[in-house]
Amino acid sequence: MTPLRGRLMRHVAVLGWRGGMGTALLFAAAVLAGFLTWPQMQRRAALEVELAGLEENASRQTQSQPTETPEQQLAGFRASLPKQGDLNALIETLHAIAAGHRLSLRNGEYRAIPAAGGLGRLQISFKTEGRYADLRGFLSEAQARLPSLALGRCALARQRIADTTLESGLEFQLLYATE
């Protein structure tokens, strides 16, 4: 009998079979906990290293970029908006996008709402009829191609549950820079 086995047998004899079983279970639990927590500890360490790198990168970018004053930010925002003279072309673009999605924009109402500070808003209301998928595609493309366009209201209705076409009322807000 080896010395280790002899010692183990003596400890089991002292503790009894219940104590030996408890010790074995305690040992198994410690090994299992080690195997379960070790990968998570390594993952956490890797994430901490990644976080430190991202924080360093962000601080470098913050230091390298000059901060703009609010006046400069406002001027940049105004410069990014379409001009008042471009409104007709933007409305034609909106109609072309609708036609591309098999929608006709009917009963259009256009109302210019002047705002202070060199900004203006054009409220555009339409009635249209078409499939839901076409309407969603139109709204997505319109907002992607015309960034200063915002959907203000969308009302959908259908006559019967089985109908595949929807009647919709759309209201857009188009922000523009007054000249």
The pLDDT value given to residue 1? 62
Write out pLDDT tens, residues 126-144.
Answer: 899 888 899 999 999 999 9
CB-CB contact of 167 with 114 (8 Å)? no
pLDDT at res. 5: 80
pTM given for the model: 0.58
Whether pLDDT at 46 is above 90: yes
* Contact between 68 and 75 (Cβ < 8 Å): no
Rounded CA-CA distance 59/51 in Å is 12
pLDDT bin (cut points 50, 70, 90) of residue 116 is: confident
* Distances 26 to 31, 99, 125, 135 between C-alpha atoms, Å: 9, 72, 73, 64
How far apart (Å, rounded) are the C-alpha atoms in residues 134 and 97? 11
pLDDT at 137: 93
Name the residue with higher pLDDT: 21 or 169: 169
Q: Is the pLDDT of residue 125 over 90?
A: yes
Q: Which of 113, 116, 111, 110 is nearest to 78 (CA)?
A: 116
- Where do the domains of the chain lie, and which CATH numbers do they carry? 1-65 (no CATH), 76-177 (3.30.70.60)
Type of residue found at 34:
G
Q: How confident is the model at residue 119 (pLDDT cuts 50, 70, 90)?
A: confident
pLDDT tens by residue, 148-173: 899 999 998 988 888 888 889 999 99
